[in-house]
Structure 1
Amino acid sequence: MTEAILLVGGKGTRLRPLTVHTPKPMIPAAGVPFLTHLLARARAAGVEHIVLATSYLAEVFEPHFGDGSELGLHLEYVTEDEPLGTGGAIRNVASRLRSGPDEPVLIFNGDILTGLDIEALVSTHGSSGADVSLHLTRVEDPRAFGLVPTDSTGRVTAFLEKPQTPEEIVTDQINAGAYVFRRSVIDTIPAGRPVSVERETFPGLLASGAHLQGMVDSTYWLDLGTPQAFVRGSADLVLGRAPSPAVPGRCGDRLVLPTASVASDAKLTGGTVVGDGAVVGEGARIDGSAVLAGAVIGAGAVISDSLIGAGARIGDRTVLSGAVVGDGATVGADNELQDGVRVWCGASIPDAAIRFSSDR
């Protein structure tokens, strides 16, 4: 049995206001908390025991998932009193693992949506005899990422900082946020202090002569760290571009949860999801967006590439493009919000108050 650690302790500051009251992995994507997709994909790959490394709003996870039995899993929860970073979080949950010293332990970042072949990563780890195996993906523009070059056998040769010049771009391969550790390697991570697995653990292992293996899998990969990326990821799940056995319905242009109400002439496209108890009014047009539980979309509203928080209200004829409206916020009728505007939780914008506003 392969077991796994899920790193779900981050504050998700880039996703505010969505993460003011909800930890990032619990924000709904395609109708269910994003973490549900990660858990379901791990279970489909044969994982049975998962330890969740929690920190920010840690009290939210266990009431929702319980012991994991509904997903066919055995879940345990370990909460950091102080943030320990990725490596520190892995070390902090080591006592809950059941694997022997040479057995594999899967580790996933809790904010990555991926089509990774999990079983292939575990197989690569075993056949290569690696101490740690990393999922690598190729990106068109690697300047925003640390680079991970490998040799002809896939063995990692370096961990490089974000390139500052074209000459420093020696590969398009980046760390994709999923790993297989030999169980004994986890015990070498220093305990009780913050440790970055990317900046300290991996370079240190490489310098000590450890075998780090890379497996390139670029089928689908998206870091959900920003609202724009999160909305896109949710839409890709609905459209079937990103695989998940946890999408609660057929993949297609739209996903309307059972207790939502959508006017017969409203148009939902581009992977739009409408959550339980939400209401979409007459003539509304929503494209590539997520409308969370209990939100109300007024008649004639036009919404694209946006996320509408739980219980929020969007007035008649209001236009939203690339916007984020926090939980319980109200945007009155005849407004126009575009280009990354974020409306804070509980805020209220009067009718016809804003015709356009740029990113801020």
Structure 2
Amino acid sequence: MSTPAAPNPATALLPDGICAVVVAAGEGTRLRPLTEHRPKALCPVGNVPLLDRVLARLAGLGLTGPDRVAVNACYLGEQVVEHVGSRAHLSVESGGLLGTAGALANLRDWIDGRGVLVGNADGYLADPPAPPGADIAALLSGWDGRTVRLLGQPITGPDEPGSFSGHRFAGWSLLPWHRVRELPLERAELVRTVWRPAEAAGELTVVSFSGTYLDTGTPADYLAANLHAAAGENLIHPTATVTGACQQSIVGPGAVVRGTVTRSVVWAGAEVAEGERLTEVLRVGRDVTVPAGAR
């Protein structure tokens, strides 16, 4: 007789009537030139597209498929649409970016009375003691369906501009239907239309996240996320060719490294020529090198 599989504690915490929206429409201007030909949501961290990391986290909560998960797209949206395929409902903002609040207003008919777990596609989260999904399950546990919840990383010093109750926003929020229902279909952001009004009304709760969170919006943070994913080792895709030297670096599919790379990211198909020495940079193609700079 087979032993029944142990229940997933993260899935057990999922309230009824919840859907998820992944915000993946942004231009990623601070990451250029990396994002000139690839949307930020598809930039790889540890050789895994950021968007796939978010979808895996939702799957860990039991949220999968186009009835439960939606992804919005705008900038280079055709790439996002092709990449997601049938894994989620797709909301293409053909008239231009709608922002995080406008994206939800555009999905109002699909959300249809449900609470919404909203995740930023460009957020990198990691919590070694908990797998993806379980690491943010506290955001859902015991939710009353009326209040707004934010995942937040504690700030060790004085409150920063834009912080919430001594926490820095960590990429995820949980919104009740009545807040989504009232959003106008126009370009707007959740911080002004939902989070701050809920905070002023005493209806916002920050759920503390003690793991690692990086928004990957700058080359420095993008490199930091990759190095964290590699955990101090090299992370070299099996289809890459490395005849040079790598130290604490991430090398993507089909990349060729004949030189020396240290604490760097070499994208899929990129090349590092013999004699080249790259340190704390991002390499795209044969000769595009983006210094990470200071965080």
Contact 1:121 / 1:180 at 8 angstroms: preserved in 2?
Answer: yes
Following the alignment from structure 1 to structure 2, what is the Cα–Cα distance between the partners of residues 222 and 147? 15
CA 1:105–1:200 in 2, change beyond 3 Å: closer, same or farther? closer
Following the alignment from structure 1 to structure 2, what is the Cα–Cα distance between the partners of residues 66 and 339? 32
CA 1:77–1:210 in 2, change beyond 3 Å: closer, same or farther? farther
Is residue 40 of structure 1 aligned with residue 45 of structure 2? no
Alignment match of 2:253 (pick from 276, 286, 295): 276
Contact 1:260 / 1:275 at 8 angstroms: preserved in 2?
Answer: yes
Please state whether the residue corresponding to 1:37 is helix, strand or coil. helix
For 1:218, the aligned partner's letter is S
Structure 2: segments with no counterpart, 5+ residues: 1-15, 128-134
Alignment match of 1:174 (pick from 155, 168, 171): 168
Alignment match of 1:10 (pick from 26, 31, 56): 26
Counting matched residue pairs gives: 267
**Bigger RCO (CA 8 Å, 6+ sep):** 2
Contact 1:232 / 1:288 at 8 angstroms: preserved in 2?
Answer: no
Please state whether the residue corresponding to 1:201 is helix, strand or coil. helix
Please state whether the residue corresponding to 1:174 is helix, strand or coil. strand
Root mean square deviation, CA, Å: 2.3
Contact 1:145 / 1:174 at 8 angstroms: preserved in 2?
Answer: no
Query: What is the CA-CA distance between 1:275 and the residue it aligns to?
Result: 1.3
Contact 2:220 / 2:292 at 8 angstroms: preserved in 1?
Answer: no
Query: What is the CA-CA distance between 1:106 and the residue it aligns to?
Result: 0.6
For 1:269, the aligned partner's letter is Q
CA 1:19–1:144 in 2, change beyond 3 Å: closer, same or farther? farther
Q: How does 1:201-216 map to 2 (within 5 A)?
A: 201-207=194-200, 209=201, 211-216=203-208
Alignment match of 1:219 (pick from 180, 188, 211): 211
Which residue does the alignment assign to 1:78? 91
Greater C-alpha Rg: 1
Query: What is the CA-CA distance between 1:269 and the residue it aligns to?
Result: 2.1
Query: What is the CA-CA distance between 1:66 and the residue it aligns to?
Result: 0.8
Is residue 292 of structure 1 aligned with residue 267 of structure 2? yes
Which residue does the alignment assign to 2:70? 51
CA 1:144–1:224 in 2, change beyond 3 Å: closer, same or farther? farther
Is residue 312 of structure 1 aligned with residue 289 of structure 2? no
For 1:312, the aligned partner's letter is R
Contact 2:179 / 2:194 at 8 angstroms: preserved in 1?
Answer: no
TM-score of the pair, normalised by structure 1: 0.68
Which residue does the alignment assign to 2:224? 232
Please state whether the residue corresponding to 2:22 is helix, strand or coil. strand
Query: What is the CA-CA distance between 1:141 and the residue it aligns to?
Result: 5.6
CA 1:141–1:14 in 2, change beyond 3 Å: closer, same or farther? farther
Query: What is the CA-CA distance between 1:27 and the residue it aligns to?
Result: 1.2
Structure 1: segments with no counterpart, 5+ residues: 69-74, 150-170, 240-251, 315-322, 325-337, 341-358
Query: What is the CA-CA distance between 1:306 and the residue it aligns to?
Result: 1.0
Following the alignment from structure 2 to structure 1, what is the Cα–Cα distance between the partners of residues 30 and 215? 12
Contact 1:130 / 1:212 at 8 angstroms: preserved in 2?
Answer: no
Is residue 187 of structure 1 aligned with residue 181 of structure 2? yes
Following the alignment from structure 2 to structure 1, what is the Cα–Cα distance between the partners of residues 219 and 137? 30
Following the alignment from structure 1 to structure 2, what is the Cα–Cα distance between the partners of residues 205 and 139? 21
TM-score of the pair, normalised by structure 2: 0.83
Which residue does the alignment assign to 1:104? 115
For 1:123, the aligned partner's letter is S
Please state whether the residue corresponding to 2:278 is helix, strand or coil. strand
CA 1:180–1:339 in 2, change beyond 3 Å: closer, same or farther? closer
Q: Deviations over 1:188-216 (max 9, x none)?
A: 112x2122211232222344x36211111
CA 1:300–1:43 in 2, change beyond 3 Å: closer, same or farther? same
Query: What is the CA-CA distance between 1:24 and the residue it aligns to?
Result: 0.5
Contact 2:50 / 2:123 at 8 angstroms: preserved in 1?
Answer: no
Contact 2:25 / 2:75 at 8 angstroms: preserved in 1?
Answer: yes
For 1:107, the aligned partner's letter is V
Following the alignment from structure 2 to structure 1, what is the Cα–Cα distance between the partners of residues 158 and 98? 27
Alignment match of 2:108 (pick from 94, 99, 109): 94
CA 1:195–1:18 in 2, change beyond 3 Å: closer, same or farther? same
Q: Deviations over 1:108-160 (max 9, x none)?
A: 1221111372211110534xx642111111234667641212xxxxxxxxxxx
Q: Deviations over 1:69-123 (max 9, x none)?
A: xxxxxx011122222221111221122226xx4x532101221111372211110
Which residue does the alignment assign to 1:351? none
